[in-house]
Amino acid sequence: MPVLPPWVSDPAGASAREIVPLYWIMFGAAAVVLAIVLGALVWSGIRYRERPGVTAQQVHGNNVLELAWTVIPTIMVVTFSILSFQRLLVLNDVDTGADMTVKVHARQWSFGFEYPPSYKDALFTTSDGKALLAAEELHIPVGAKVKLEITSQDVIHSFWIPNLGGKKDAVPGRTTYLSLQADRAGTFKGQCFEFCGDGHADMLLIVVAHPPSEYATWAKSAVEEFNRSIDPATAKGRELFLSLACAGCHTVKGTPANGKVGPELTHIAKDPNHKLPGSVGTVNAANLHRWIKDPQKEKPGTLMPTLGLDDATIDQIVNWLLTLK
Ligand code: CUA
């Protein structure tokens, strides 16, 4: 386990690099104070311990000591405040040199990311004419300074990717701003950092930084995936899933379905070799149909009830499930 926090041991962006020197200054000062206080405690404990025939000298008031432990901490607190404020001025300047703006919508319990209509040759306009709105993962180009406009639909959440810098609260009815910039390609993980209810621990955050030359390709595939999810051919299945009992037990991030009883289905169709319960087999249309039709027959005793849905309804739900990649 690394001893140092991620933004110090592995800073991967401009904000993290801004924070590191301040971290060391405060850490160093705290270490010196700890050493002095503990040292004085141990030394005086030995030096002035009770011994036969020795009476401790009784002291009442000592101007030098009183002044020292008032003035030194005051100087330290003021210095740290000035240094922190100066760093905050840099970190909170999200506009200077900003390349693109992404809106972050937090809600119980996922983060949604709304992209601009386009960024350079990456196009984010989907088939419904709106800009791409995707859940869970934020994709950014390496090097770009991305301005985040953060809001919340319900309670206070907090956005934090430790390797990339500081955190910022998502507050209902307000917009807060954070700047995100990654020095290198990679996946950076984070977590909602404000307790926000039952699902708080599951409210993960993933930032994927792409080499700039690959960003447009990613955008194209993300838009295609989104278009599939709002395709009229599968929209009915989505509606059925959300209105039937399914949504009460399963979570599909980016939709109102946030049940915790059954497995999460956000990426059910991502891996075609993924096994369905019992002896149903891997994820495909026929197997999903068989499972939803009569789970109790396929795996007796499973928590999933046999809902008695007709074949046409099941097919529509399966069509939609297969878009969850
Ligand atoms: Cu959202 Cu904790």
- Three-class SS of residue 50? coil
- Determine whether the shortest distance from the Cβ of 260 to ligand 1 is under 6 A: no
Structure-token pair, residue 109:
């319990």
pLDDT of 57 strictly over 80: no
Distance between Cα 191 and ligand 1 center (Å): 8
User: Would you state the structure tokens that stand for residue 140, as one six-digit string?
Assistant: 């950014």
The pLDDT assigned to 104 comes to: 94
**Which domains can be identified in the chain, with CATH numbers?**
6-47+60-91 (1.10.287), 100-229 (2.60.40.420), 231-321 (2.60.40.420)
Q: Is the CB of 157 under 6 A from ligand 1?
A: yes
- Whether the bond between 109 and the residue before it is cis, its omega within 30 degrees of 0, is yes
pLDDT in tens, 220-262: 888 887 877 777 777 888 888 888 888 889 988 767 788 888 8
* Coil, strand or helix at 254: coil
What Rg value do the Cα atoms of the chain yield, rounded? 28
Q: Whose CA is nearest to atom 1 of ligand 1?
A: 157
CA 205 to ligand 1 center in whole angstroms: 10
Compute how many other C-beta atoms are within 10 angstroms of the C-beta atom of residue 44.
Answer: 10
**3-class secondary structure, 198:** coil
Is there an atom of ligand 1 within 6 Å of 197 CB? no
Distance 119 CA to ligand 1 centre (A): 29
Position with higher pLDDT, 125 vs 215: 215
Q: Does 102 score more than 70 pLDDT?
A: yes
Q: How far apart are CA 318 and CA 154, in angstroms?
A: 31
Predicted model pTM: 0.70
Ligand 1 pocket check for 203: Cβ under 6 Å: yes
Give how far Cα 49 sits from Cα of 34, 44, 46, 101, 206, Å: 22, 8, 5, 65, 57
Q: Which atom of ligand 1 is nearest to the CA of 108?
A: 1
Q: Can you tell me the distance from the alpha carbon of 171 to that of 152, in angstroms, rounded to the nearest whole number?
A: 5
**DSSP label at residue 131:** B
19 CB neighbour count, 10 Å cutoff? 20
Residue 195 Cβ contacting ligand 1 at under 6 Å: yes
For tokens 């069509």, the residue is: 319
Among the listed residues 149, 150, 143, the one whose alpha carbon sits nearest the alpha carbon of residue 164? 143
Mean of the pLDDT values across residues 142-161?
A: 93
**Residue 1: predicted pLDDT:** 54
Give the strand pairing for 167-170 and 275-276: unpaired
Given the CA of residue 200, which atom of ligand 1 is nearest to it?
2
d(CA 150, CA 178): 8
Instruction: Calculate how far, in angstroms, residue 180's C-alpha sits from the geometric centre of ligand 1.
Output: 19
Is any atom of ligand 1 closer than 6 Å to the C-beta of 154?
no
Q: How many whole angstroms from 48 Cα to the centroid of ligand 1?
A: 52
One-letter amino acid at 259 equals G
Ligand 1 close to Cβ of residue 150 (< 6 A): no
**What is the atom index within ligand 1 of the atom nearest the CA of 155?**
1
Count H helices, E strands: the chain? 9, 14
CA of 283 to the centre of ligand 1 (A): 31
pLDDT in tens, 193-214: 999 998 899 888 999 999 998 8
